[in-house]
Amino acid sequence: MFKYIFFFFHYLFIFYVLYPFSPYNSIVALLVYISWIYNKNYCILTEIEYKYFNETCMLTTKVRRISKYEKGLLLFSQFIKLIFLVHNTSMLQKHNYFQLPFYYYQ
């Protein structure tokens, strides 16, 4: 039972890191990417799962390397976040949204 709870939290962590609109996931994504580099393209959580449960969250009995597609997906989600961040800040600089509620009462 504890195994599946751990797998569930691993899936939630994956979705949190890949979701580009979470406020603080850029820091976490950077830490995950650095951990992949230092751990020779292996996920630390997957290795812990294999060590204690002899199974990974992907329901395989072997630990596999992080592929270039998974790395690309992580970088692409952060790139999407950067595009939206730049777009939204440029839109905020063009308009004074603090005066907008009072615009109709002048």
64 within domain boundaries: yes
Q: How many domains does the chain have?
A: 1
pLDDT bracket for residue 29 (50, 70, 90): very high
Q: Give the pLDDT of residue 98.
A: 58
Q: What is the pTM of this model?
A: 0.80
pLDDT bracket for residue 18 (50, 70, 90): very high
13 within domain boundaries: yes
Q: Give the pLDDT of residue 90.
A: 75
The phi and psi torsions of 72 (rounded to 5 degrees) equal: -65, -40
Contact between 81 and 26 under an 8 Å Cβ cutoff? The reply is: yes
Sign of the four-CA dihedral 6, 4, 41, 83: negative
21 within domain boundaries: yes
51 within domain boundaries: yes
Q: Give the pLDDT of residue 100.
A: 52
- Which of 80, 40, 16 minimizes the C-alpha distance to 8? 16
The residue ranking higher by pLDDT, 51 or 98, is 51
Contact between 5 and 14 under an 8 Å Cβ cutoff? The reply is: no
40 within domain boundaries: yes
